[in-house]
Structure 1
Amino acid sequence: MTETTLDDREWRLVRDNARDGATQMALEEIAARTALEDGIRTVRTFSWEPSTLSLGYRQDPETVDWDYCERNGIGVTRRQTGGGGIYHDRDADISYTIVAPAAEVPGDLMDCYALFCEPILEAFSRMGVDADFAGEEQDSIYQPSCYLRDINPAHDVVVDGGKISGNAQYRQRDVVIQHGSLSFDLEPTDHLGVFVGHGLEPTTFTDRVTSIREHTEIDREEAVETVGDALGDWCDADESTWREGELEAAQDLAARKYGADAWIRDREVLEAEP
């Protein structure tokens, strides 16, 4: 892979607050705009409040148990990346985002995954978790669930064969956005319950998926801090927050797109911001 220099660019680390899923997805688009227009690249950690099911870009909304989500106060949004749905528990999930201009990172998808997953693997190492990319593919168990789909050595991270992190990329306006989910703990009942008619036992999920808590005694707060530190060190980022206007723009985009039924249920691309 061609060597890519990151630390001579302007990067910021945002240790973000817990927010609803629509706003979290919108913030990625706003960060992409900032990277493209103002030359500020972003790495961030975040969590979901309320707990949220994020659908893959092409996922059929008929796979969702909408009543279960409503009864249990689980939000639903749709990602720009593909794959199956991911239940992001408020306490059991740790999420991150990396945003950078496409011209500054490898054009080959696998090389870009390898580069952008470096800080995630480093974070696991710092936590004492012996994680690495999957050594071989594993067949899908249940297609609607991202964590139970086939395991891909290019971007799925495992410990002793159990998936502990999923990562995905998309490109928008010449910007690469990678986001991912790390399992701090497991909530198999909700991971499965958000899907209609799954017919699976919780042990089916726990046999395929593992968590940070199963491999170390670190608490969640320290785990989140470790992920943020690894991201910041990777690109020599400055500690930062969202700039004036970014959060407001994200909330507007969330209302128009990521929180709208037209996008969540029908994947309709709404009109651009005036």
Structure 2
Amino acid sequence: MTYRIIDDGTYSEPVQQALEGVLAERLDEGDLEPTLRFWYRESPAVALGRFQAYEDEVAVDYVDQRDIDVVRRLTGGGAMYVEPGAVITYSLYLPREAVPDDIETSYAALDQWAIDALQSIGLEVSHEPLNDIAHPDGKIGGSAQLRKDDAVLHHTTMSYALDTSEMLRVLRIGEEKVSDKAIESAEKRVAVMRDYVDASREEIITALKDTFAERFDAEPGSLPNAVVSEARARASETFATEEWNRKL
């Protein structure tokens, strides 16, 4: 089985989420090789879980004032605040036969290569059921999945240098001033890679790519122009609309 690694392209959050659907469908139809893709974002955003209620998860006035995209993704799970350069997001698009049927087992299996890569640069991380990558001081990242007939989408977002106080303002709190106690509590729940290693975000992504390439004999690839065009159209029709993002 030939694997590809895609590590290019900067897009808005609606386009990124649209790409997930397009690429999963192409794999399901046999038109895409198994692929690892890294995300690069244009601006801060919130990735909202598929079944979450918009007003329950984000500080509506705050995100509106700052024009922060809140985009409902195709996968379940919790809301995540993301910033360009401050998080690392990767997606795996895999044939169903390459993924364990058991959900809990699959989360552990599909993030293990990333855990090994992070350990190789000195991060003390491990899998924490159901779907987290954890450091002894808190959560480094979390994963979510979408399963189709013959394809599995598995994506993971990890904190490299996330602004915890801003995260608290965006997710549910929405106040200009956040108490020291609230920030301290959040820092206990969220561990930030930069607090524990000197490696840059680019160096960490390189370690992830190298580990994946060695593990799965993967080669560099790129997104076809047709895929990007389809994702931009789908973002405009769905992922950038209030009908989709605020429907719950």
Q: Would the TM-score normalized by the shorter structure come out above 0.5?
A: yes
Determine the structure 2 residue equivalent to 1:189. 165
CA distance in 2: counterparts of 1:213 and 1:189, whole angstroms:
16
CA distance in 1: counterparts of 2:119 and 2:73, whole angstroms:
28
| Residue 56 (1) aligns with residue 71 (2) | no
1:21 to 2, 10, 13: 13
The normalised TM-score by structure 1 is 0.82
How far 1:233 sits from its partner (Å)? 2.9
1:227 to 198, 208, 216: 208
How far 1:216 sits from its partner (Å)? 0.6
Matches within 5 A, 1:1-274: 9-36=1-28, 37-63=30-56, 64-134=58-128, 153-197=129-173, 201-266=182-247
Partner secondary structure for residue 27 of structure 2: helix
The normalised TM-score by structure 2 is 0.90
* Structure 2 gap segments, 5+ residues each: none
**1:121 to 1:206, Cα distance in 2 relative to 1, 3 A:** same
How far 1:232 sits from its partner (Å)? 3.0
How far 1:262 sits from its partner (Å)? 1.1
CA distance in 1: counterparts of 2:209 and 2:242, whole angstroms:
32
Point out the structure with the larger helix share: 2
Identity of aligned residues (%): 28
Partner secondary structure for residue 230 of structure 1: helix
The Cα RMSD (Å) is: 1.8
**1:232 to 1:260, Cα distance in 2 relative to 1, 3 A:** farther
**1:261 to 1:50, Cα distance in 2 relative to 1, 3 A:** same
* Structure 1 gap segments, 5+ residues each: 1-8, 135-152, 268-274
Amino acid at match of 1:230: T
Partner secondary structure for residue 54 of structure 1: strand
Determine the structure 2 residue equivalent to 1:143. none
CA distance in 2: counterparts of 1:230 and 1:182, whole angstroms:
17
**1:62 to 1:105, Cα distance in 2 relative to 1, 3 A:** same
How far 1:227 sits from its partner (Å)? 2.2
